[in-house]
Amino acid sequence: MSNQRIKTPCVGLCSTVYGDLVCRGCKRFHHEVVNWNLYNDEEKRAVWRRLEILLVQVMTAKLEVFDEDRLRMQLEQRQVRFVPEQSAYCWAYQLIARASRMINRLDAYGVALMPEFRGWTLPELREAIDREFFLLSEAHYDRYIAPRFLLEGMESRV
């Protein structure tokens, strides 16, 4: 496996350059994408943690990681990059996102789909996960971040 540490959530599909407030690629907020290199370690960890919490919420509704060691071994063997400190459900997402077209049996990776998703192809599942992860990130932005920016805009007028 590549020893190169993943330093940013960026996946190279940034939509914030087109005006999105939440990136469709990495699910970070526009201001986080713009300011990432200015953030200290604590600020970066907070972003990583929020993304992990939202992704795990989506993933646990669709699959179960029943063997973390096997999943980790398979990721390393197939050279799929992942963040070791994150939940195994984030690792499973990386597996599906990077290798879904090459996987025949998900259970060989220590992962099992929930019954309602067993008829889905992995590319279909990946798209559904990505869409739901984006919608959750967008909802989080609308609920917790946007009101703050609106308030800050009002204060500058006073």
**Residue 20 forms part of a structural domain:** yes
Q: Which helix (H) or strand (E) holds 65?
A: strand 63-65
pLDDT in tens, 83-133: 999 999 999 999 999 988 889 899 999 999 999 999 999 999 999 999 999
**Residue 38 forms part of a structural domain:** yes
**Residue 83 forms part of a structural domain:** yes
The 3-class SS string of 78-92 reads CCCCCCCCCCHHHHH
**Residue 126 forms part of a structural domain:** yes
**Residue 144 forms part of a structural domain:** yes
Instruction: Give CA–CA dist 93/65, Å, rounded.
Output: 11
Contact between 94 and 75 (Cβ < 8 Å)? yes
**Residue 32 forms part of a structural domain:** yes
**Residue 8 forms part of a structural domain:** no
**Residue 92 forms part of a structural domain:** yes
Domain residue limits at 153: 16-157
Instruction: Give CA–CA dist 142/49, Å, rounded.
Output: 18
Residue 45: per-residue pLDDT: 95
Domain count, the chain: 1
Q: Mean pLDDT in the chain?
A: 89
pLDDT in tens, 60-84: 999 999 999 999 999 999 999 999 9
Of the candidates 109, 150, 100, the one whose C-alpha atom is nearest the C-alpha of residue 130 is 100
- Assess whether pLDDT exceeds 80 at residue 134: yes
Instruction: Give CA–CA dist 10/23, Å, rounded.
Output: 9
